[in-house]
Structure 1
């Protein structure tokens, strides 16, 4: 039975009067599920309202959360754990609270997890031992997800081979190039579909019962979902 990490996507906006503007920015990352959502959302709002919404692509969510907080960008799309940390100044935003952020609306759940190729032989988090994992900058979203996932199997970075990775697009490319054995991915996203197509097939590693308690320590709002098929 497949279990997947679920991260709810939120639209965060600064406490500013964006409604009176004719053109507003919607911050997003490059590639992946977040970018797909931003492009579709901007297109729909522009077509159905008096606002013209323009996606503003940046390197990562951590880069634009402060810009949304200060009103330099009107809106941004972010996952729930990172947004929660940003507002409270904890975790990924330790000591740097962003009190002006506001939740404008919930979009869709991110059915996300760790993806591996079918020929890797890996099925559970315990199988990560000795494998090549992307190593993100300390305290970044990728770093937190990797550490939390390893912890569910009683593992740390000391138990794997770390491959330095700057961001999510580089991580997606690394597993396709065969320089890493695993990638964070969102089911149904273009990046996940690309990995599946370019590697001859890919799957998500299984979590086990009780792992949600481990994940929630550093990823607030995360839960596990059981299922047999990927959307």
Structure 2
């Protein structure tokens, strides 16, 4: 009888252990709540739970420069970065100078996102060159990629951040809030980011985007300051918060889902496949995924694709 009880206990412990393995939670590193990455991470986590039964959760940090090294060292399963920042991190240049994150791998492009400087609606600043001498956020020590965004945008008007009155900010969320509070004259706002919409609702007259300059010289300057970035033309539409001018030129960058080399092929394959097959569900969870193009998840970047993602892309013909 004692042997039977011991055997039963052993079976129960084995089942419990198996259940613990089954219930592993995969965390997705994002920027702060209210940011675009946070909303994207929440949407993907929701869809993964609903479609696969696996446990995913959002893990917000002060900025991507904080959580990317955690992905590299295997302390975080997934995260987000624009194409330029991913390249910087992998190669150990730019904002990651001397600290190559060679274990980073790409899952695929989630969406392309547009960003430009925004100013209060009644601001006298109309063009990028007008921002010379303005109070502008600088530093971005917890989200360093926005330092490069800032210089890329300013470069279209022949400026750098050194031409402004620099106001140190830890990240772009703080910068947007500072603009809403009148502490800076302009701030970079990613298209339809939650914190941008909140600022629009709380500021007396709201805010508007400044159109960047579009020329061969401006395009070259943008690419030089933020690799993989390009200039895109946007038209006013009720779905595009802050877009007033026709056209409004903005910086466009592909935003990738990142993972680490040590994350299992099966886990990455499942995430890639689930994203590819569920655009509608992703868009219902977060409207920005209406811009998600499943057939264009593979784009050129110095960071290699994870073998689990490669396996799926070969099945659908995106990688030969």
TM-score band by shorter chain is 0.7 to 0.9
Question: Of the two, which has the highest radius of gyration?
Answer: 2
Residue 168 (structure 1) shift: 2.0
Is structure 2 residue 55 aligned with structure 1 residue 52?
A: yes
Residue 107 (structure 2) pairs with residue 100 (structure 1): no
- Choose from 204, 211, 218 the match for 2:209: 204
Deviation per residue, 1:55-104 (Å, 9 max, x gap)? 11111100111110111111111222111111121212122111111111
Aligned to 1:64: 67
Q: Secondary structure at the match of 2:85?
A: helix
TM-score, with structure 2 as normaliser: 0.63
- Per-residue CA deviations over 1:150-199 (Å, capped at 9, x if unaligned) read 22222233422111212222112100100001111111121121222222
- For 1:177, the equivalent position in structure 2 comes to 181
Alpha-carbon spacing, 1:74–1:183, altered in 2? closer, same or farther (3 Å) = same
- Quick one: which of 219, 225, 234 aligns to 1:227? 234
Q: CA deviation at 1:147?
A: 2.2
Q: Return the structure number with greater strand share.
A: 1
Show CA shifts across 1:6-51 (max 9, x none): xxxxxxxxxxxxx987311111110211111111111110111132
Change (3 A) 1:95 1:191: same
By relative contact order (CA 8 Å, sep 6+), the higher-ranking structure is 1
Aligned to 1:136: 139
Give the corresponding residue for 1:3. Answer: none
Q: What is the alpha-carbon distance in structure 2 between the residues aligned to residue 21 and residue 82 of structure 1?
A: 32
TM-score by length of 1: 0.86
Aligned to 2:30: 28
Contact 2:116–2:188 (CA<8 Å) still a contact in 1?
Answer: yes
Unpaired segments ≥5 residues, structure 1 = 1-18
Instruction: Tell me the number of residue pairs that the alignment of Structure 1 and Structure 2 aligns.
Output: 213
Distance in 1, matches of 2:64 and 2:220, equals 25
Higher helix fraction: Structure 1 or Structure 2?
2
Partner SS for 1:106: strand
